[in-house]
Each structure stands twice: as C-alpha cells, then as structure tokens.
A and B are shown apart, each in its own frame.
Chain A
Amino acid sequence: MPGRKVLMDFEVTPDSHSLAAYRARGGYQALEKALRTMQPREVTQEIVDSGLQGRGGAAFPAGRKWQGIDPDDGQPHYLIANADEGEPGTFKDRWVLEYNPHALLESMLLASYALGVRHAFVYIRGEYDIPWRRLDAAVEEAYGEGLFGEDILGSGFSCDLFVFRGAGAYVCGEASSLLGSIEGSRAYPRNRPPRMTVRGLYQAPTVVNNVETLATIAWILRNGAAAFRAIGTERSPGTRLISVSGHIRNPGVYEVELGYSWAKFLHEDCGGLLCNKPLKAVIPGGISSQVLTGKDAKVLTAEEVECLTLDHEKLRSAGSSLGSGGMIVIAEGTCMVRLLQIMLRFYHHESCGQCTPCREGTGWMHRVIDRIVAGEGRPEDIDTLHHVARYNDGTTICGLGDAAGYAATAMLDNFRDEFEYFIEHGRSKFGGNLECR
C-alpha cells in the first residue's frame, strides 16, 4: 500500500459513509474538542503548523489562506468547499463525497469556527449525482443531531450549510467564478486584486478550499499538527488522493503518502500498464498540469527509483505539478497529436469567453490541431501553436487559459517529432491510437 492514510483510514462497507460509522471511528471528536477548548485562532494556527497545502491544484498553503481572514472583523465571512471537480482525469473528491462525507462536514464546521463563518457552502458539480445524494443525506443526518444550525453542541457557535449544485461548466471550478455561479450571475473568474479573502462571495471575505483539503482538517485537529507533519515529506506533509486513469491496469482513487516512489506506485500499487506496454508519458495532475514524458519516467522505471517521487516539490522541479491529483497514464504507442486535440477541444469548449486570449486562443489552437489531425497541417502550424500557447499562459484572468497553454506547450516540446510527422505525412505516427492495444 502506498504509505500511511488520512482519509482512507477505514474499510469501506455499505454504510461506512453514515454518521454512526463516522462517529465509531472517532468522528466529530475534533469538533467537540475545538468548540470546548480552542479559540478560533488556535484552530487556524494548528492548520498553519500542519503545513497543509491546497489539494485543488495550486498547492497554496491552506493555513496562509485562512490567515487572510480576521475572524473578529465584524463582517460576515463565507466558507466554500469546492466540489466542482471538473478537471479531466480527476475524480478524487468524488471518493470523499461518496465514502467519507462526514469528514468533509466536520472539517467544514471546524473551518467555519476558525474563520467566524455563519454560512458555509458546498459547491458540487451538477454531474455528481450519487456524491450529491450522499452528501445531502449526510448533511441531513448532521442537522438531525444538532451538528449544524444554531448553538452547535451547546457552544454558542452557529453555522448553516448549503449544498449548491453547479450546472456543469468547467470554469466554475475556478474559485472566483464559482462565487458568481452561487450569486446567480455568469460564472466569470474575477480579477485579482482584490483577493477573495478580502472581497469574495457577496463582497464579503471568503475562503474557497478544495474538498480534499477541507476533509483533511478534521484529521489534523483530531491527531494534531505534529502527527500530520510526520506523514509525507518535509515540504509536502500529508497524503494525496490520486485518481489514476488511462492505460493502467487498476485505475481508481488511491491515497498516497507524499514522497512515495512513483515507480512503485505505478507498477506495484496500480498493477502496471495495460498490455505490459512501456510508459510513454504521464499527465500527473489533471490535464492542466504539464505532461511528463517517458524520458523522465524512464528515470523512474529503471535504476534511479528515488529520483522522482510523488510530492509537490519534486514534480515542480521536473517542470510539472501534482495539480488536482488526476493522473493519466499514457502507454507507448499512443498518438499524442490526437490526445492534444482532445485536450484542446475541451479547453475550447469550456472557455468562458470573458477575456480575450483564452476566448480566441483556445478556439484558434483547436482549429489548428483539428486541421493537423485532418491531414491538412502546415509546417508553420507548430510555431503558431507555440505562439498561441505562449500568449495564453499568464495573460488571462484565471488559470484556464494558462492551462490550455501548458497543455499545448508541454506536448509540443516533448513530442515535436510526432507533430512534425503528422504534418509531413498527413497521418499519425501511431495510427491515431488512443486505446492501448
């Protein structure tokens, strides 16, 4: 098994998601402890000490984000759990929502207590039906036992939770556009400054955290920041839920201790690649993270096993990121041109259209790659794609444009020969394969 567990530390049974089962494994003790013995700022300090990083993609320290809010400034504050898990390849939050919803709810109560939040929201993507039912049932259970509402556990602290279902736009997973969606306007990402911890939902200070980030908080409060720091690496403490898909024998959601060996994870825990093919590339954290090539991965598979491990620093130094934990494994023999086409089609389709580079650039790249795949590519197309990708990166309001740029740049840099082959011959070097045969 890939290391110690934080969220998957129990056996999944047909009713392990219920409140009774959660209580039986120590649930809501941290809440009682915090409400009775801790000040809100102490809860925040505990999270700062734990070194917990955001699990949504940017890996921003959660404690630092919380410190942006003064719980006593007299304004209303809002807490939002971002469960709009739209990143292709990512389905880890779904596991939390389906199998451990009370961990999220307890953590949200703790976070609300720490941040002085009266009304908390869960923004869940509309396509998630079972997770939504499970979450909704869990919220009802919690309300039934007085864990939400007025005067929780007799502490004088009150908090209400609203579950808000999205309507399926990828851009709503961006924290600031999610606010627009809740407010009932178009889900447009917002310009910073102001930061959301200054002016967010309904113009009030707001913290938006990923479901996995939030769900970890109950564990940290129960076991202490030191115990959390003992897991994972020095700079990336804790575990990550990794959703593995692609050409892999055992796809699914795995909880991996940060710093775990990549090769071991792929070849032992996930059962290796389909058809025993060699590894060509890995998209480590949802398609918005840069693709890692087999070249890097070979380092993994062969002698220097230690060289690449699953943690934020190592991947950042390798030029990618652990992103949202949506790992897509790509075996040798896959046509990267068609893969990029699919990725760019996604970004084109999901661009919200607010700011120029992404609105025009994603469509431009999509049309160029469509033409290449149709066999009508021109030699200058690669430079065009590079140019568009370059100016999609860092010029937009939100990260969607950046991500489309990364995707194209990483693919073009690493597999330029395949693109050149496709353009020169009008057909794929690998027969246009996306499946593993």
Chain B
Amino acid sequence: MPVMFINDQPVDTGEHRTVLQVALANGFYVPHFCWHPELSIVGNCRVCVVEQEGRGVGIACNMPVAEGLRIQTESEPVRAQRKAMLQFILLNHPVDCGICDKAGECTLQDYHYAYNGAPALSHEPKLHSTKFFPLSERIILDNERCILCSRCVRFTREISKSNVLGMEQRGDGMRVRPVEDRTLDDDPYSDNVIDLCPVGALLSRSFQYQARVWYLEPTASVCPGCARGCTVQLWHRRHEWRLKGLDGSHNERILRVTPLENPRVNGAWICNKGRDLGALFGRPRAGQALLKGRPVLLAEAIDAARRLVRGAGRRVALVSSWGSNEELRAFRNALADRFTSFVKADHRPGEGEVVEDDLLIRADKNPNTHAAQALFGNAPADIPDDTELVLVWGEGADFSTLPRGAKIVHLGAWLQPENGYADVFIPISIQTERHGHYTSFEGVVSAFEPCQRRPEGVIDAETLFPLLAAPPGSDT
C-alpha cells in the first residue's frame, strides 16, 4: 500500500487515486466546489489547493497519489491562494444570503467564514445576469449566484444522461443554460442538481422561500415511490422551532426531501418523484372510523371487524405492499391463518411517469412488494365468488371487482370515496407517523423514522392486527 504524508502525518492512500480523496478519507478537510465523488474531475474552481513539498501549490482534485508524496494542506501559500480564489469567486456573487434559500447550508458561505473572512477587495459594481431563469416546472436558476462549477452540467451528462444542461458564452459572461428546445422537465432526476449546487443558484420552486434551513431538521426515511427503496431525508421544522401561531399541520409539514447518501441503494441521488413525497404524504387523511359510511368510534369499528373476521366463511385478504416489514409480520402472526392472502400493488405507474430506467426508477411502484411476497407468495389475486369477507389493506383495490356478496373491511390512511362503501373502515397510520423498515427489490432493508404525530382516531396497523384476531368484546 502506498504511503504518503499529509501535514507530516503518514496516511495510507488505499484505493484512492487523487490527493483530495486521500485527504478527505483521512480527515484532512480540503475545501472544494467543483469536485464531487460521483462526477468527473474538471478542476475549475481552483479552491482545493494544497502544497506539494518541493513542487509548489496545485489543485488536489487532479493531483495523482504517489508513494512518499508530501502534502501540506494548511501552509501559508495554500491559505493565501485559497483566500484569493474565494475572493475571485465572490467577486460577482451577489451575497444576497438574506433572501437566498441556500443560506445556512451554502458551501460558499461556510468557506468564506472558514477560509476568507475578509471584506471584498473590489470596489467595482457586480456583474448582473439573469435571475429566476426557468429551467423547468420544478427548478429556477439564478445566474448571478452561479459560480460556474459545472456540477449540474456534469450531472445531466454523466449521471442522468439527459444532456439537458450546458454552458453558453464565455469568460465572466458564461451561463448555465438548457440546450436548445429542451428543458429540465425531460430529466426525471433533475432535482438532484439543486443539492449538487454548492451555492443558491439552482432553486426548487416548491421549496423557494418556504423556510430558512436552520429552522429545519431532517428525518431519515425511505422513499415508497418504487421498489428501489431509496433512502431519503424528510425535512420539517425543528421541534424547538415549532411555532404556536401556526396550526399543527404547518409545523409538521414536509418541506422538502433530499437523498440520504447510501452507496448500497441510491448513491447520492433520488428521482423527482421522491422529491414530491411531501405532496404524497400531505394528501387529505382519513381520521374517522366508519361503519358503512356512518362515523363511529375506533373501538366500535374494530369490534365490528372482529365479528366479521370470526364469523364469515371464506375469507380473503389483500395485503398492502406499502406495509412495513413489522406490519407484514404482525399480519402474518395474527391473522394469516384466517385468510387466504394475496399481495396487492397499492400504486401503479401514473400517467406520464417514468416506468423504469437504468439508474434508479423501478417499474414496481410500491416499496415493500419484496417482503410481502416473501411472506404471502406472489400469486395474482384470485378471489372466489363465494368469498364472504375481503380485508382490503391499503390503496389500489378496485371495490367493484370484489364479489358482490362479500363483506369488506378496509384499512386505509387516505380520505377516499370507497372508505364509505366498505362495511368497516378503520383509519391506519402512514409511514411518517411510525417506525419501520422496507425491503427493497434487491433485498436491502432500510429503516424509516417518524416525523409527524399520528392523528387522533388513527391506529397503527401493527397494533391493529392482534386486536382484530382477538374475540369480539375484548379490550382495544
């Protein structure tokens, strides 16, 4: 294993090929804008400078590792050059942090405080450029803030391969632009460029001006949008920053979704569908138990369901592929012997949605089909006409195709017309209200955490199943 020296400490270079990678892997932070582990090396920001003893200052991202290389990351020439580069970058940057969504998590802001900190040397007026350039229905571009690191351009060329973005003009008039006749709407992974952007040049329309990021905190979760099971972070207001003046839903709202880096599943990316989980989880919730459309107490509904589960003859269950591993196990342990169970696809590809591609998106639009089929088989739903009870767990069942004489017990989370059609409707919790795990199509198990309170009158499916198995009249 080649050994080199960073700040006079010997470090093992391992598999790394550049000095920057070795430094970062060994805890020597070297600031960088344009370099990204998943993208090609362009070396254009010139901030990641280090001193190679005897050879002077150079950029670390393109400096090959060599045996016995001696690197200084904090020597005087390095500091001076880094500072000068930051001054160049800030020369035409508007420094409108006060109204910039990136403020608080902006690399340039952090580096300025860490490595520059000096007032501007320039007295010249800043160059102006386009503000609010629409790149797509989802993304706007602020060219004044852009530092031209080209991460977004490389992303569309190397990762999403939509080739939508490019540079036009040259010198300090250079701008990121979509190529002719195209927009980022063509790219199902476009929102990743917002995270990639080291400054606030690429902005999400849905998150714009919604919150200062320091009021927010992320909760680790798993995207239920398809069988890939990408790990994500759901951003919502920090607990200590919840405002009494706002109603509860506002304080708990999911304001944005970002990828949670996970080399085994999704790397550093998620698709645009995953970015919209806030809307998915923000749909009107069902909070009222119903008996044939008549509002009843939850305990009453559970008792009615128990009677049906005990009394009916032939029983079929349509198991949700959105249930967590824990819920699926609870169902099997408590109720599987009373039902013939089929796994149901709760969601199918929507109109205009990318069905499948080579990067992340899978055709199965449900998060836990893999685990559900492992427990209940993958046979297609075959419901005999003499079925007396159908337990429908989750969305996606067409009630009109169920046998006419069968009673229906529906466990659902959303406000939907068929809730009132069922003989018993019991509202259950959603992913953001409970702990759990999903198993991806590759068999990778990922955990999700709650970030919202379970509404009144709603029960976790995991708690519900043992209750349904108990005799009528037992405690609930």
Question: B463 — which chain A residues lie within 8 A by C-beta?
Answer: none
Chain A residues 75 to 105 lying within 8 A of chain B, measured CB to CB, are: none
Chain B residues with CB under 8 Å of A233's CB are none
In the complex, how many angstroms separate the beta carbon of A121 from the nearest chain B beta carbon?
23
User: Given A355-B45, A357-B46, A395-B84 in contact, is the A364-B171 Cβ separation under 8 Å?
Assistant: no
Counting chain A CB atoms within 10 Å of each CB, which of B56, B84, B170 scores highest?
A: B170
Decide yes or no whether A146 CB sits under 8 A from chain B: no
Contact with B along A109-123 (1 / 0, CB 8 A): 000000000000000
Q: Which residues of A contact B169 (CB under 8 A)?
A: 353
Are the C-beta atoms of A391 and B170 separated by less than 8 Å? no
A354 to chain B: closest residue by CB: B44
A5, CB-defined interface residue at 8 Å: no
The residue in A356, A359, A367, A397 that gathers the most chain B C-beta atoms within 10 A of its C-beta is: A356
Using a CB-CB cutoff of 8 Å, which residues 327-352 of chain A contact chain B? 348-352
Interface centre among A351, A359, A387, A395 (most CB of B within 10 A): A359
A1 vs B244: C-alpha distance in the bound complex, in angstroms?
A: 92
Q: A191-B41, A355-B44 are in contact. Are A391 and B88 (CB under 8 A)?
A: yes
Q: Report which of A191, A367, A394 forms a contact with B62, defined as CB distance below 8 A.
A: A191
Q: Which residues of A contact B173 (CB under 8 A)?
A: 353
Are B122 and A364 touching (Cβ within 8 A)?
yes
Which of A171, A360, A361, A378 has the most CB atoms of chain B within a 10 A radius of its CB?
A360
Of the candidates A186, A351, A356, which one forms a contact with B89 in the assembled complex, judged by CB atoms under 8 Å apart?
A356
Q: Closest residue to B125 on the A side, CB-wise? A: A367
Chain B positions 66 through 83: 1 when the CB is less than 8 Å from some CB of chain A, otherwise 0: 000000000000000100
How far is B147's CA from A193's CA once the two chains are assembled, in angstroms? 24
Given contacts A169-B170, A357-B85, contact A191 B91 (CB under 8 A): no
A360 to B120: give the CA distance in the assembly, Å. 14
Whether A363 sits at the interface, judged by CB under 8 Å, is yes
B374 at interface by CB-CB < 8 Å: no
Residues of A within 8 Å of B47, CB to CB, are 356
Q: In the complex, which residues of chain A have a beta carbon less than 8 angstroms from the beta carbon of B84?
A: 357, 387, 390-391, 395
On whether the beta carbons of A356 and B122 are closer than 8 Å, the reply is no
Q: Do A359 and B171 form a contact, CB below 8 Å, given A364-B124, A395-B46, A396-B46?
A: yes
Interface residues of B in 80-133 (CB under 8 A from A): 81, 84-85, 88-89, 91-92, 121-124, 127
Contacts of A348 in B (CB 8 A): 171-172
In the complex, whether A31 has a CB less than 8 A from a CB of chain B is: no
B262-300 residues with Cβ-Cβ distance < 8 A to A are none
Q: Is A276 in contact with chain B by the CB < 8 A criterion?
A: no
Instruction: Tell me if A356 and B121 are in contact (CB < 8 A).
Output: no
In the bound complex, how far is the Cα of B147 from the Cα of A117, in angstroms? 40
Asked if B46 and A361 sit within 8 Å, CB to CB, the answer is no
Q: How far is the CA of A371 from the CA of B91 in the complex (A)?
A: 17
Contact of A360 among B42, B91, B170 (CB under 8 A): B91
The main secondary structure of chain B at its interface with chain A is loop
Q: Which residue of B lies closest to A391 (CB)?
A: B84
- Is the CB–CB distance between A353 and B167 below 8 Å? yes
Task: Specify which of B41, B57, B59, B170 is in contact with A351 (CB 8 Å cutoff).
Answer: B170
Task: Give the residues in chain B near A169, CB-CB below 8 Å.
Answer: 170
Which of A166-193 touch B at CB < 8 Å? 169, 171, 186, 191, 193
> How far, in angstroms, from A169 to B170 measured CA to CA in the complex?
10
Q: A389 to nearest B CB, angstroms?
A: 11
Q: Are A352 and B121 in contact (CB under 8 A)?
A: no
B174: interface (CB < 8 Å): yes
Tell me the complex Cα distance, A387–B84, Å.
9
In the complex, B450 has a CB within 8 A of chain A? no
Q: Indicate if the CB atoms of A191 and B174 lie closer than 8 Å.
A: no
Chain A residues with CB under 8 Å of B85's CB are 356-357, 391, 395
| A355 lies within 8 A of B43 (CB) | yes
In the complex, A360 Cα to B44 Cα: how many Å? Answer: 12
Q: Which of B62, B122, B124, B170 contacts A193 (CB 8 A)?
A: B62
- The distance in angstroms between the C-alpha atoms of A355 and B85, with both chains bound, is 10
Which chain B residues border A364 with CB–CB below 8 Å? 88, 91, 122, 124
CA distance A191 to B43 in the complex (A): 7
Interface size on A, residues (CB 8 A): 33
A353 and B148 in contact, given A359-B171, A360-B91, A360-B92 (Cβ under 8 angstroms): yes
Interface centre among B62, B124, B171 (most CB of A within 10 A): B171
Does residue A362 face the partner (Cβ distance < 8 Å to B)? Answer: yes
Min CB gap B19→A, angstroms: 12
A217 contacts B by Cβ under 8 Å: no
Residue on B nearest A363 in the bound complex, by CB: B172
Query: Within 8 Å of chain A (Cβ to Cβ): is B64?
Result: yes
Q: In the assembly, what is the distance between CA of A24 and CA of B76, in Å?
A: 63
Instruction: Say yes or no: B174 contacts A391, CB within 8 Å.
Output: no
Residues of B within 8 A of A367 (CB): 124
A285 to B171, CA, bound (A): 24
- A387 engages B121 (CB within 8 Å): yes
CB distance from B146 to the nearest CB of A (A): 11
In this assembly, does A203 line the interface, its C-beta being within 8 Å of a C-beta of chain B?
A: no
Q: In the bound complex, do residue B124 and residue A371 qualify as a contact, i.e. CB atoms below 8 Å apart?
A: yes
Q: Is A6 interfacial (CB 8 A cutoff)?
A: no
Query: Complex: how many Å from CA A84 to CA B435?
Result: 65
Q: Determine the distance from Cα of A399 to Cα of B123 in the docked complex, in whole angstroms.
A: 27
A243 to chain B, nearest CB (A): 26
Q: Which of A364-395 contact B (CB under 8 A)?
A: 364, 367-368, 371, 378, 384, 387, 390-391, 394-395
* Chain B residue at minimum C-beta to C-beta distance from A381: B123
Q: Which residues of A contact B171 (CB under 8 A)?
A: 348-353, 359, 362-363
Q: How far is the CA of A394 from the CA of B49 in the complex (A)?
A: 12
| Residues in A whose Cβ lies below 8 Å from that of B41 | 191
Say which residue of A193, A360, A390 sits within 8 Å of B172 (CB atoms): A360
CB-based contact B124/A186 at 8 Å: no
CB distance from A412 to the nearest CB of B (A): 16
Residues of chain B within 8 A (CB-CB) of A351 are 170-172
**What are 9 A-B pairs with beta-carbon distances under 8 A?**
A353-B173, A354-B42, A354-B44, A356-B47, A356-B147, A359-B174, A364-B122, A387-B121, A390-B84
The 6 A-B pairs with the shortest beta carbon distances in the complex, nearest first, are: A353-B174, A391-B84, A360-B88, A351-B171, A363-B172, A191-B43
Residues of B at the A interface (CB closer than 8 Å) are 41-47, 49, 56-57, 59, 62, 64, 81, 84-85, 88-89, 91-92, 121-124, 127, 147-148, 167, 169-174
- CB within 8 Å of B: which residues of A? 169, 171, 186, 191, 193, 348-357, 359-364, 367-368, 371, 378, 384, 387, 390-391, 394-397
Known: A353-B173, A356-B45, A390-B84. 6 other contacts (CB 8 A): A356-B147, A359-B174, A364-B88, A387-B121, A395-B46, A397-B44
